[in-house]
Amino acid sequence: MTGRLTAALVAVALGAACATRVPARPVGAATDDPAAVAALEAVTAHCRPLRTATAEIRLSGRAGGERVRARLIAGFAAPASVRLEALPPFGGPVVILASDGAAATLYFPRERQVLRDASVADVLDAMTGLGLDANDLRRLLFGCAIESGGRGRAWGDGWQSVEAGDAQVFLRRGVVVAADVRGWQVDYALPQGQIARQVRVRRTTAAGAIDLTAALGEVATNVDLDARAFAVDVPADAASITLDDLRRASPLAPK
């Protein structure tokens, strides 16, 4: 079982990685700037509310020393529903992850193996090192780390930031370019309208560095999504696996 699962994960996860230039954060002394809050609210109007979102995501980078590449079809619904389908170059999905906000289901159609009753964050952590829940993933991907309020600050050269709770969002000349959220560093590039089409997520963990870039295409927000999208039809004869099985089979597992 583990050998076939490893092959499925390798088929999706390993490949050439690409790097993007990381925008520098501002340096030096900052001053209070209430206008920064208004500037952020103006460019994140799509976040209030971001009820649903769909996108095609091309994921690349490194996680725990391994190169990662995958093509995903993604759907999100507030507050914590998600569906991710990992697609090979040809044919149907290799992996399907879905959750309606409760426990997640991870299904490998070709291997007919299923993981039930794990959290989205634990599943994503085991597969990519990106241990984010569905709500955090939706907010970070679509530039909604802070939706309103906060403390505004300003530096020179067009830099502003807004801090609220555990998040700090950086703007440069009125465009969101970065965010720091609970140890994750997020960098945004290639904006179209109010949504960046390139999102880089980085963090150094005990298991190694996570550095993943998501290229977003076919983005749609606040469209009606059938609740059945956040469930998976799993055949009755599918073999059950555990989160430990997934971790052992992952290309990111310690060698």
Q: What is the pLDDT of residues 178-192, one digit of tens each?
A: 999 988 999 999 999
Pair 215, 66: CB distance under 8 Å: no
pLDDT tier for residue 6 given thresholds of 50, 70 and 90: very low
Decide if pLDDT at 223 tops 80: yes
pLDDT tier for residue 2 given thresholds of 50, 70 and 90: very low
Least trusted range by pLDDT, from 13-27, 55-69, 155-169, 221-235: 13-27
Instruction: Give which of 187, 203, 54, 19 is closest to 125, Cα–Cα.
Output: 203
What DSSP character marks residue 136? Answer: H
pLDDT of residue 11: 46
pLDDT tier for residue 129 given thresholds of 50, 70 and 90: confident
pLDDT of residue 253: 53
The single-letter code of the amino acid at 201 is V
Tell me how crowded residue 45 is: count the other CB atoms within 10 A of its CB. 9
pLDDT of residue 23: 63
Give start and end residues of each alpha helix (H) in the chain.
2-13, 34-43, 120-128, 134-141, 243-249
d(CA 199, CA 178): 9
pLDDT of residue 85: 95
The single-letter code of the amino acid at 86 is A
pLDDT of residue 127: 83
Q: What is the mean pLDDT of the chain?
A: 87
Determine the average pLDDT of the residues in 19-34.
Answer: 80
Higher pLDDT, 129 or 78: 78
Determine the average pLDDT of the residues in 187-209.
Answer: 89
Give me the percent of the chain exceeding a pLDDT of 90: 66
Domain spans of the chain? 2-249
pLDDT of residue 123: 93
Return the structure tokens found at 139: 């907010």
Q: Identify the CATH assignment for 2-249 out of 2.40.50.140, 2.50.20.10, 1.10.300.10, 1.20.140.10.
A: 2.50.20.10
Higher pLDDT, 134 or 204: 134
Pair 167, 160: CB distance under 8 Å: no
Note the pLDDT tens digit of each residue in 162-173: 999 999 999 999
